[in-house]
Amino acid sequence: MRYLPRLFITSILVLATLLGVSPIVAQEQPKPIYIGQFAPDFKIKDINGVEQSIERYKGKKILLSFYRYASCPICNFRFHELEAERAFFEQKGVVFLAVYESSADNVKDLNDTNQYYQILIPNPNGALYELYAVEISKGKVLKGMTNGAIRKANEGKKLFAKKIKKDGNSNRIAADFLIDENGNVIYPYYGRYLGDRMPIEFIKSHL
């Protein structure tokens, strides 16, 4: 009987490995960003090698958007939704920082030859995602399948200028953070499911 605990623990570890689940459950998770919080700052280069940060745009409102990976068609659908409102956002002077969990080369392929309004930032190691507590959830991905994600994926596929390699986490859930001129978070929006984003009309009404 004294060997039972060790056998039990070993069995749990083996099962976790087979299911692709980490048996470590005591790790501290990043805390979600809340309204009124000072937006965590960072320094990271965009696809053109320009260093981006929250501090850089002090005096302007910022929409910090966390996409999944560059080849995600659902993200591409959202990306072009925002680009369609470019004239309004330019008039308001809002800065769009678009973060992708992809390599710089893949994000450059997304950019192609277009001059998009959004500033494209590659973050393949996921450091900014962790900083802003952008979650990974297989359950929310599945929930998205019954909440419009399939339609958005089909539409988003048509908007790619070229085929891009997949290099991000398939279970990543997107998030948006609207930030005021002083660097305070006006509103954090964590997707409730795959394809769920901060409504464009909400963004426009707070600029």
The Cβ of residue 124 has, within 10 Å, a number of other Cβ atoms equal to: 16
Task: Specify the pLDDT at position 112.
Answer: 72
Residue 148 has pLDDT above 70, yes or no: yes
What is the fold, at CATH topology level, of the domain defined by 26-205? Glutaredoxin (3.40.30)
Dihedrals phi, psi of 190, to nearest 5 degrees: -95, 125
Task: Compute the distance between CA of residue 194 and CA of residue 169 in angstroms, rounded to an integer.
Answer: 12
3-state secondary structure of 151: helix
pTM, full prediction: 0.85
Task: Specify the pLDDT at position 28.
Answer: 54
Q: What is the DSSP letter of 184?
A: B
End-to-end CA distance of the chain: 67
Task: Compute the distance between CA of residue 101 and CA of residue 123 in angstroms, rounded to an integer.
Answer: 5
Task: Compute the distance between CA of residue 193 and CA of residue 173 in angstroms, rounded to an integer.
Answer: 7
Confidence band of 33 (pLDDT split at 50, 70, 90): very high
Half-sphere exposure of 197 (CA within 13 A, CB side): 25
User: What is the amino acid identity at position 186?
Assistant: I
The Cβ of residue 84 has, within 10 Å, a number of other Cβ atoms equal to: 10
Task: Specify the pLDDT at position 93.
Answer: 95
Of residues 30 and 155, the one with the higher pLDDT is 155
Q: What is the DSSP letter of 112?
A: T
**Contact at 8 Å (CB) between 130 and 97?**
no
What tens digit of pLDDT does each residue of 153-176 get? 999 999 998 999 999 999 999 999
Could you tell me where the DSSP H helices lie in the chain? 4-19, 73-83, 86-92, 104-111, 127-131, 138-144, 149-157, 200-205
